[in-house]
């Protein structure tokens, strides 16, 4: 695990961003829970995406489709047959590996092949195809007729609702459908903290276009999505495109470009989002398997066609990890012995917007600080803290990315002014306490 990730795993647990699932039972493999600060950060990120994709545009509609779908959906989408990894089992230690795992010595299935974990020779079976979808049963009967899958992507819930959304909203092509929701994949090699997990979220948008205009829209979305990631404050030189070669494309894709972030260390550049030109693959498949037409009627030209789809598929968990890695800094502070750890999160994403601190616990300062905190809390997540030296209280908030610190001192009680400290510049400004809501609103919008 890259060095900074190790530090972040510890900070995330200590400060309530991310906990291991079922930790008191020893943990569940590659599943994570988001604590009080993590859930705020993730929600802010998802709200930002929803605002940019749905609310700020008139050509994209929102959707929240169910995780459990008709099992034929996954036959039509190609996931039952195609969403597989070749795996090998060790008969001795019962562990399972990807067949192309570079730590396996020899050819799996042959007597010389050696298990990379227990070291036994000749115990690795031949490669078998392993489907990555989680299976469960619907209803009280556990037989093959009742099998359903936990969805491995949100996109299929959008395709099967294409006409419901288009007809209920009277959208005209080109238009899109966006949704945020859970997806599940029984990943064989999960890891790197929340980078690759078995339960995760997706923020996906399917944009339906006229065939022939698909590459034009693909290029537009490729650019707009990179702009969105940059606007989160991710360093431009840590972001790049990876355009997939023809032999790397998923079974549904005509073209695909990934937006990658440099996580550093051994993880290096990893995918945050995929932009895919899926052509007419999905809608055509669903037409065939359901027997229902999924065509668009182009009234002015009096013709019907199956639209092409340009998809943007982003993972909020990975983007959140990128924000933590990008923002994590350990630095010295001029004139102070102790250094500080800072999470330089974009103020609009920070879980807590301001810390409110009475300088000392007397002389009317806590009372005034409580009044200010209660008033600000009507509009912003605020943290009130009166324990310990003021420097330590600043540090505790710097470490979780709180952009502003509001201090109430002796002068505050006398003249109604407070100081507001900026997390990044450390600059302190004295302002009238009754202007704080407007000041915070202005700075957070900036």
Binding site for ligand GAP (CB under 6 A): 153, 155, 185, 187, 196-197, 200, 202, 204, 271-274, 311, 313-315, 317-318
Closest separation between CB of residue 319 and ligand GAP, Å?
7
Buried b (16+ CB within 10 A) or exposed e, 60-73: bbebebeeebebeb
From the list 411, 310, 406, 282, the residue with the least C-alpha distance to 355 is 406
The residue among 166 and 317 lying less far from ligand GAP, judged by its C-beta, is 317
From the list 324, 219, 203, the residue with the least C-alpha distance to 261 is 324
Instruction: For residues 72 and 92, give the distance between their C-alpha atoms in angstroms, rounded to a whole number.
Output: 37
What phi, psi does 97 have (nearest 5°)? -130, 155
Closest separation between CB of residue 380 and ligand GAP, Å?
29
The residue among 89 and 204 lying less far from ligand GAP, judged by its C-beta, is 204
How far from 122 is each of 54, 87, 229, CA to CA, in Å? Answer: 55, 16, 48
The residue among 12 and 314 lying less far from ligand GAP, judged by its C-beta, is 314
The residue among 184 and 357 lying less far from ligand GAP, judged by its C-beta, is 184
Number of Cβ atoms within 10 Å of the Cβ of 305: 14
Coil, helix or strand at residue 20: strand
From the list 175, 184, 233, the residue with the least C-alpha distance to 205 is 175
Closest separation between CB of residue 304 and ligand GAP, Å?
26
Which residue number has the CB closest to ligand GAP? 315
Closest separation between CB of residue 202 and ligand GAP, Å?
5
Asked if 260 and 240 touch (Cβ cutoff 8 Å), the reply is yes
Instruction: For residues 327 and 308, give the distance between their C-alpha atoms in angstroms, rounded to a whole number.
Output: 38
The residue among 155 and 178 lying less far from ligand GAP, judged by its C-beta, is 155
Closest separation between CB of residue 151 and ligand GAP, Å?
10
Residue 196 C-alpha from the chain's centroid: 11
Closest separation between CB of residue 15 and ligand GAP, Å?
22
The residue among 202 and 326 lying less far from ligand GAP, judged by its C-beta, is 202
Closest separation between CB of residue 252 and ligand GAP, Å?
8
The residue among 248 and 336 lying less far from ligand GAP, judged by its C-beta, is 248
Number of Cβ atoms within 10 Å of the Cβ of 9: 19
């Amino acid at each position: 695990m890259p060095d900074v990730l190790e530090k972040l795993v510890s900070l995330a647990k200590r400060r309530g961003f991310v906990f291991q699932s079922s930790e008191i039972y020893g943990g569940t493999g590659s599943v994570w829970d988001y604590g009080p600060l993590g859930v705020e950060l993730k929600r802010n990120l998802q709200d930002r995406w929803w605002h940019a994709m749905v609310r700020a545009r008139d050509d994209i509609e929102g959707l929240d489709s169910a995780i459990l779908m008709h099992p034929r959906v996954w036959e039509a989408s190609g996931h039952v047959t195609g969403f597989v990894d070749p795996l090998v089992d060790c008969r001795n230690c019962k562990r399972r590996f990807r067949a192309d795992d570079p730590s396996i010595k020899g050819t799996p299935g042959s007597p010389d092949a050696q298990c990379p974990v227990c070291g036994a020779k000749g115990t690795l079976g031949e490669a078998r195809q392993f489907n990555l979808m989680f299976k469960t049963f619907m209803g009280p009967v556990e037989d093959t007729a009742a099998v359903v899958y936990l969805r491995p992507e949100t996109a299929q819930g959008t395709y099967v609702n294409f006409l419901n959304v288009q007809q209920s909203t009277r959208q005209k092509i080109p238009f899109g459908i966006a949704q945020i929701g859970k997806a599940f994949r029984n990943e064989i090699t999960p890891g790197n903290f929340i980078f690759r997990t078995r339960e995760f979220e997706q923020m996906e948008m399917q944009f339906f276009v006229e065939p022939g205009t698909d590459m034009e829209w693909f290029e537009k979305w490729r650019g707009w999505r990179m702009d969105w990631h940059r606007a989160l404050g991710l360093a431009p030189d840590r972001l790049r495109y990876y355009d997939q070669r023809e032999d790397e494309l998923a079974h549904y894709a005509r073209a695909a470009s990934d937006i990658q972030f440099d996580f550093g260390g051994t993880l290096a550049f990893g995918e945050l989002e995929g932009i895919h030109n899926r052509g007419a693959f999905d809608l055509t498949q669903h037409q065939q398997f359901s027997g229902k037409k999924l065509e668009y009627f182009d009234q002015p030209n009096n013709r019907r066609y199956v639209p092409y789809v340009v998809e943007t598929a982003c993972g909020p968990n990975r983007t959140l990890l990128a924000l933590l890695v990008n923002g994590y800094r350990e630095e010295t502070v001029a004139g102070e012995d102790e250094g500080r750890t800072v999470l330089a999160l974009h103020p609009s994403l920070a879980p807590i917007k301001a810390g409110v601190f009475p300088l000392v616990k007397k002389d009317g300062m806590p009372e005034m600080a409580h009044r200010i905190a209660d008033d600000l809390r009507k509009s912003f997540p605020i943290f009130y803290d009166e324990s310990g030296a003021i420097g330590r209280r600043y540090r505790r908030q710097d470490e979780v990315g709180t952009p502003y610190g509001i201090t109430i001192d002796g002068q505050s009680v006398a003249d109604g002014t407070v100081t507001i400290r900026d997390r990044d510049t450390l600059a302190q400004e004295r302002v009238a306490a009754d202007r704080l809501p407007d000041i915070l609103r202005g700075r957070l919008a900036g």
